[in-house]
Amino acid sequence: MHPLDGSKELDCPEGLLDRNLPRRLETLSRCLAETPGKIETGGINLHIHTNESFSIFRSPSEAVWQAYLHGIEYFGICDHYSTAGHGELRSASGIAGLKAIFGMEIKTIDPDALQRGVRVNDPHNPGRVYLIAKGVTRELKKRGRADRSLHSMRKAIRKRNEATSANLNRYANEKGYDIGFNYSDALSLTPNGNVTERHVIQAFCEKIRAEAGSPAEQKAIFEDLANTEIEDGVFNDPWELQESVRTGLIRSGKPCYVEEDRRAFSSEKDVIGIFLEFGAVPTYSVMANPITHEEEDIERLLRKVVKKGLYAFDLLEFRTEMKRARQVIETADQYGFPVFIGTEHNTKKMMPMSGEIGKSAEFYGYLRKSADFVLGHQILSQLCDFGYVGKDGKTRFDDLKQGFRFFADVGKTPPGADEISELERKDLRERKRYFNL
């Protein structure tokens, strides 16, 4: 059984976890040299998280190594509120021969859905909407409107996590456990300060384990704090334990809960504007399971998101049933709407790098065309300033099917690294001529 197919430990060379990026890349090169041609390519996974947000992967290089071992050809990271891992993904994917796709995920607010109490693609919170920038090709202008908006969201999220950390420490003290927990413990778990709620709980649990005595004493502390009996299997699984503590302590109505700051959520319009400045294709993430009111009718959903300026769907393996995937892809095909597939890996739990949807002969052709599409978008955006979506938020082609086909054709037979280097030395007019623009 492979590590990401259910075993307890990732098979990861120690050098891929080194704090020094050149050493991580050197280790990756060595590992690949020792494992040449061992796998067949063709797998697609355009949505995984790394340690730049929250993930089982402790570096983008480690994620690329695991993708390589699993036969992934098209590989994309999609961290929350951050593009910090993109540089390493580009380098590591180049070494491994993977086709890298660059993304980012942000949670927004739909004011109308919030007012009506309607769930969109967050099954727990009415009005919350997850949106994705797929095919990021530019950096934000420093201190520009988009950069300030993203900074404001991250600042509000940080303040809430700081308050949650303080509440957890206070509550532990009230219970008689002086563990000295603070926000810096969570901050140490992510390389660029992009702390999530899950980081806070992970650090809190690790602090208790480090400060408490025997396993039996640790278990008693967790049960006392969470006010629930914890089964041995949960206690011995770090991820399951963290989820149990998270549910018992910091969810709404629990003793350490901190209400979310509205400044952590920009409107859909503002977030789409951020994505456009990133040079990305604004994408809607289909929750799929459970099916919410807004997602019951896929065709209606598609028409609605297009009006908002969203031009692709994102599907997640292990959350989406085959029947539901068929509904989404068949509807998307009618309109010329790309559909991206990914596994998320936004937990510390072991999961495969691909699932039955991505491997299905029924869907594979469409999913691969979609992967080629975003790859073509990245290439033309970077070399010719000709992405699928213009800076005005409108698609380059009025006919979505024609645009989908055009960019997918570019991504299907992309120029090689030497050709790209040569094109980068030419002026914009010559680059456009190369692609018959």
Q: What is the pLDDT of residues 246-265, one digit of tens each?
A: 999 999 899 999 998 888 89
pLDDT for position 39: 67
Q: How many residues does the chain have?
A: 437
pLDDT for position 7: 39
Handedness of CA 157, 161, 166, 168 (dihedral sign): positive
CA distance 299 to 431: 38
Q: What is the pLDDT of residues 279-315, one digit of tens each?
A: 999 999 998 778 888 899 999 999 999 999 999 999 9
The pLDDT of residue 9 is above 80: no
The three-state DSSP-derived secondary structure of the chain is: CCHHHCCCCCCCCHHHHCCCHHHHHHHHHHHHHHCCCCCCCCEEEEEECCCCCCCCCCCHHHHHHHHHHCCEEEEEEEEECCCCCHHHHHHHHHHHCCEEEEEEEEEEECHHHHHHCCCCCCCCCCCEEEEEEECCCCCCCCCCHHHHHHHHHHHHHHHHHHHHHHHHHHHHHHCCCCCCCCHHHHHCCCCCCCCCHHHHHHHHHHHHHHHCCCHHHHHHHHHHHHCCCCCHHHHCCHHHHHHHHHHHHCCCCCCCCCCCCHHHCCEHHHHHHHHHHCCCEEEEECCCCCCCHHHCCHHHHHHHHHHHCCCCEEEECCCCCHHHHHHHHHHHHHHCCCEEEECECCCCCCCCCCCHHHHCHHHHHHHHHHHHHHHHHHHHHHHHCCCCECCCCCECCCCHHHHHHHHHHHHHCCCCHHHHHHHHCCCHHHHHHHCCC
* Region of poorest pLDDT, from 3-12, 199-208, 365-374: 3-12
Rounded to the nearest integer, the mean pLDDT of the chain is 93
pLDDT for position 14: 85
pLDDT bucket at 402, cuts 50 / 70 / 90: very high
CA distance 208 to 169: 11
Residues with Cβ within 8 Å of 366's Cβ and at least 6 positions away in sequence, in order, are: 329, 332, 333, 339
Q: Kindly state the tokens that stand for 125.
A: 């919170």
Percent of the chain with pLDDT over 70: 97
Give mean pLDDT, residues 421-436: 93
Q: What is the pLDDT of residues 308-356, one digit of tens each?
A: 999 999 999 999 999 999 999 999 999 999 999 999 999 888 889 999 9
Domain boundaries, the chain: 3-139+278-378, 150-249
Residue 334 · residue 358 · CB < 8 Å: no
* Region of poorest pLDDT, from 40-44, 244-248, 297-301, 402-406: 40-44
pLDDT bucket at 123, cuts 50 / 70 / 90: confident
Give mean pLDDT, residues 364-376: 98
**CATH of the domain spanning 3-139+278-378:** 3.20.20.140
Number of neighbouring beta carbons within 10 Å of residue 113: 20
Beta-sheet strand order (sheet of 72-80): 43-48, 72-80, 99-109, 128-134, 281-285, 313-316, 339-342
